[in-house]
Amino acid sequence: MNLKRVDLKSNGVPRAHLLIIYTGGTFGMTHDKDGVLIPFDFASILEHLPTVRNLGLAFSVFSFENPIDSSNIQPEHWQLIARLIYEQYDLHDGFVILHGTDTMAYTASALSFMLENLSKPVVLTGAQLPITEPRSDARENLITALEIASAKQNGKAVVPEVCIYFDYELLRGNRSKKVESMQFDAFDSGNYPALAKAGVKINYDFTAIRKPSNQPLKLYTRFDTRVAILKLFPGISEEVFQAVLNINGLRAVILETYGSGNAPTASWVITGLRQVIQRGVLVLNVSQCPGGTVLQGRYATSRDLVKAGVLSGADMTTEAAVTKLMLLLGEYGEKVARERIGKDLAGELTSLE
């Protein structure tokens, strides 16, 4: 898996230096002879965006040698992206990642945990329609993402965190979910306000934006992918439930529960969870709801989860929970992961302590 560099010269003296990473996705797709959307080279994309050269910015552009559909994103791609940002960090004022929408929230969440002590923007964006389409949202999304990634106030980055810009809104990356596949407003962060809204001007909510770190950037890249998601639903059978809990080598289970963290009180549910936790598997409770938080013990239907040793994921998204767990397990192991999973590491949850 390789990256290649594409030279992009801007007009005039640049006011900032940005790094663009092109991974693929709908943003840069075209139709093949059968009418199927396939990714094409970033150099071709620039032909559709001549205004980029007039933004007063200098760019370094790296592209996946073989651009991919985001459905094929894997942790090794996150490692590649994060390492590139880490290596290029001191040379650039901000970073823009062009990424397919399907797994963008997973990548944004992962990067937020991999890049500790950020003091510069990392903005992910993409499109619902390819840039080759007349009504494409790609142009506005990219140009505004570049503006946000280069924005400074008193010499410091305005948004020093990993975020997603889409359809006139800037959202915290590890609070985001893809919620729409047929409209342009593809993303939402139900438990956290937008960091900015773009109209005639870009209006930033400075109370919602994380403060920049004055510590050196740290990079974490080790993932343990032996994590499963178990979504509860009326009628789920004991056989299905046990099949997930008894996966060979399983390290952690994200239990997607109802409402504020509720689960069936059937004895085989609680017994199964207690047994898998006793084997050293971490079980994390997150809500199926796009908004709200897990309050284990508030209702009788979640009280037994507490007794069994299930941990609360508070108001984390599933995307944040998955990537955070995989990284904590990979970097530190089960004991530290158990201690830190419920703590706010990168703005991904609201502490209830």
Q: Is 26 a catalytic residue?
A: yes
Q: Which two tokens stand for residue 178?
A: 């893809």
How many residues are present in the chain?
A: 353
Residues 63, 88 contacting (CB under 8 angstroms):
no
Bridge-based pairing of strands 3-8 and 57-68 is antiparallel
SS3 95: strand
d(CA 56, CA 12): 6
d(CA 61, CA 68): 16
- Residue-wise DSSP of 6-74: EEE--SSS-SEEEEEEEEESGGGEEE-TTS-EEE--HHHHHTT-GGGGGSSEEEEEEEEEEEE-GGG--
Please give the helix or strand (H or E) that residue 125 lies within, else none. strand 122-125
233 alpha-carbon distance from chain centroid: 25
Least Cα distance to 232 among 162, 288, 188, 163 occurs for 288
Give me the catalytic one of 23, 26, 107, 257. Answer: 26
d(CA 141, CA 241): 41
Residues 286, 190 contacting (CB under 8 angstroms):
no
Q: Which two tokens stand for residue 190?
A: 């139900």
Amino acid identity of residue 194, one-letter, is A
Query: Residues with catalytic annotation?
Result: 26
